[in-house]
A and B are shown apart, each in its own frame.
Chain A
Amino acid sequence: MTLVTPLGGTPVVDLEARLVQAASRGDERAFERLYRQHVARIHSLVRRMASPEAADELTQDVFIRAWDKLGTFRGESAFGTWLYRLAVNVVLSARRKSRVERGWLLDDDAPLETQAVRTAPAGARLDLESAMARLPEGARQVFVLHDIEGWTHEEIADHLGLVPGTSKSQLSRARATLRRYLDGY
């Protein structure tokens, strides 16, 4: 494990590993420290992938799931990486559940094609997060995972249950829609 050592300070990764160990033994205060270290990153990921409205609840779900599954964390990757993957799975799981409850059978390509491009008032600041929130769910998730989080199409396809070609086409259309939106500023 690589240790990141600030000048004269405690190794960051080592401290995190100790917090993880303590939390896995039931130390809630250690887990709270982990929460505070990672909540901004996780909340941002969840907000972008799901929606601003659902972000708080899903973020809570991510940390509760992490608490339950800490025993399975073997330290083969950084805790943050493990938590981040868990967050993606929580969001995708919520998406599947939502689709079943609402009876959605197909992904949301059609809304992406037919959606009116709403532009912000002149002079408004460039706000990519607002623009992403207007994308259909599937396209938004592909865009976030690929262009913001750096996943490959194969990884995305594997997690979203798509073929890589669908991931690519979703990304292409998401980019085009966002570009049209941003052009309105």
Chain B
Amino acid sequence: MAIDHDTPEGTPLDPLLAEAISGLRDRGPEHDLWAEIAPRLAPRRPAGVLQMRWPTALAAGLALVAGSVAVTQWLGRAATGPADSPVAVQTPTAASASSALPVVTVAMDEAGSALQAAITELSTTIEAALPQLDPATRDELSRAMAALDRAVNEAAERVREAPDDLRAAQYLTTTLRRQHDVLRTIAVAASRS
């Protein structure tokens, strides 16, 4: 790299040293390092997919739930809109509630519906993988999934109660997205287990 050795901040370089520096040339390694580098490159993950082990995935789901309760309560206090709502919420039916993966359907805009469809599909994938898991993991997973569903239900309920509250709507969308992300993480982990 060519630089000015007489910069205001420094003392001028000794001519002999300056000459030696100007004679420096970049030189690569004596043998090709790529053969040692290539196997150490971590495979790229698809965008938006977190690579987590089972306990971490479960913790992520539970963390979402813990956060969602507090935020939902805050939204409840802040909500001032009318009680009537165009948003229809289906709480889990008896059949789905007894299942390990209760399905919640929320009537939303087109994007929300697409998200919900993806969530349903991921839930189906996970449900298919559940029998292959050990009982303890299966139970933990079922509890986390149910908790995620409750979080979405609570958020949807707030939207129904306060349909003009933008924050409530945003929170529902965020909760759905998070549920989708957690489910996708779990589905990826399930496919590898």
For chain A, the bracket of interface size reads: 35 or more
| Given A147-B13, A175-B14; A39-B20 close (CB under 8 Å) | no
Cβ-defined contact, B17 with A32, below 8 A: no
Q: Is B34 a contact partner of A35 (Cβ separation < 8 A)?
A: yes
Residues of A close to B10: CB separation below 8 A: 146, 153, 168, 171
Docked-complex contact B29 and A128, CB < 8 angstroms:
no
A4 within 8 A of B: no
Count of CB-CB pairs between chains A and B under 8 Å: 90
CB of A182 within 8 A of CB of B21, answer no
B1 touches A178 (CB 8 A): no
| Residues in chain B near residue A168, CB distance under 8 A | 10
- Asked whether any CB of chain B lies closer than 8 Å to the CB of A75, the reply is no
- What does the 1/0 interface line of B1-22 toward A look like (CB < 8 Å)? 1011101011101101100110
B27 at interface, CB cutoff 8 A: yes
- B70 CB within 8 Å of chain A: no
Residues of A within 8 A of B4 (CB): 150
Q: Chain B contact residues (Cβ within 8 angstroms of A): what range?
A: 20 to 34
| Interface status of A60 (Cβ within 8 A of chain B) | yes
**Min C-beta distance of B122 to chain A, whole Å:** 23
Residue contact B9 to A179, C-beta cutoff 8 Å: no
Q: Which residues of chain B have C-beta atoms less than 8 A from A63's C-beta?
A: 33, 37
Tell which of A12-20, A40-48, A85-93, A111-119 binds the partner.
A40-48
17 A–B contacts, CB within 8 A, in A order: A28-B41, A36-B34, A39-B28, A43-B33, A55-B29, A56-B33, A59-B33, A64-B40, A67-B42, A146-B10, A147-B21, A150-B1, A150-B3, A152-B9, A168-B10, A179-B14, A179-B16
- Which residues of A pack against B, CB within 8 Å? 25-26, 28, 31-32, 35-36, 39-41, 43-44, 47, 55-56, 59-60, 63-64, 67-68, 126, 128-129, 131, 146-150, 152-153, 168, 171-172, 175, 178-179, 182-183
